[in-house]
Structure 1
Amino acid sequence: MPYAPPKACKCGALVPYGRRCPRCAKAHDKARGTAHQRGYDGDWKRVRAEFIKTNPVCDEPGCGRAAIDADHIVSVREAPHRRLDPTNLRPYCHAHHSERTRRDQGGPRPRG
């Protein structure tokens, strides 16, 4: 079975295809801050819970799975004032939310 060769990270380490460099991931996680520091606090948890209760199905066409995550349509980075605005949210199952986040943030494609 063919496989993709490892890629060279910016730091020079060889990393298996589709994985994050362990050295750089630690630096990225520190720079990113905690969920609470990024605005996902008690207020967010309450808005999210109410939104999922009123929008229980994933918004991805044809999915039909239970919504577990509330995705910001316009990112919190771009519009921090809309962080708790339910009209700026859409319901996603975890798989579709992860895929959307990966696409928006330019992460590696999942293997499979």
Structure 2
Amino acid sequence: MPYAPPRICKCGALVPAGRACARCSKANEKARPSASARGYGTDWRKLRETMPKTRCAICGGHWEPGMHLDHRTPRAAGGTDDPSNLQWVHRRCHSVKTAGQDGGFGNRRGQRG
């Protein structure tokens, strides 16, 4: 199994690759708006319930509980919640796609956590 060396957190602490120190993690979590504030409230939950359960749009695997309903064109890039712009993806597939597009969940395009 490949080994990823530790890295330096924003605050200067040495942390495992792909992580932030506990202090920065808590600060990031406090700064992030709630799901409802980001547009994923009651209407979004109702939309998720009505979307047909299809295979993962990335890997083609079967639908399973816990899959993410992903925007093909992100909201930040002008995408909408229209069903034609939505696709079911596995959590792991969504994480890879998001990291490739904008550096990770909640980061601006080109920004890495």
Give the TM-score of the pair, scaled to structure 1.
0.74
Larger displacement relative to structure 2 (94-103 or 34-43): 94-103
Give 1:3 deviation, angstroms: 3.6
Match of 2:82 in 1: 85
1:59 to 53, 57, 71: 57
What whole-Å deviation, never above 9, does each CA across 1:45-71 have from its counterpart, x for those lacking one?
1112212xx24211124x322152210
* Deviation readout 1:53-95 (Å, 9 max, x if unpaired): x24211124x322152210112222327x1x211111111222
Look up the match of 1:71: 70
Q: CA deviation at 1:30?
A: 2.0
User: What is the Cα deviation at residue 31 of structure 1?
Assistant: 2.1
Q: Measured at CA, do residues 98 and 4 of structure 1 come closer, stay the same or move farther in structure 2, by a change above 3 Å?
A: closer
- Amino acid across the alignment from 1:12: G
Please tell me whether the aligned partners of residues 72 and 90 of structure 1 are also in contact (alpha carbons under 8 angstroms).
yes
CA contact (8 A) 1:57 1:92 kept: yes
Letter in 2 for 1:91: W
Deviation at 1:14, TM superposition (A): 0.8
Following superposition, the deviation at residue 6 of structure 1 comes to 1.7
Unaligned 5+ runs, structure 2 = 105-113
Scaled by the length of structure 2, what TM-score is found? Answer: 0.74
CA RMSD of aligned residues (A): 2.2
For residue 56 of structure 1, give the secondary structure of its aligned residue in structure 2: coil
Aligned-residue sequence identity (percent) comes to 43
8 Å contact from structure 2 (residues 68, 89) kept in 1: yes
How has the CA–CA distance of structure 1 residues 2 and 75 changed in structure 2, closer, same or farther, with 3 Å as cutoff? closer
2:54–2:63 CA contact under 8 A, matched in 1: yes
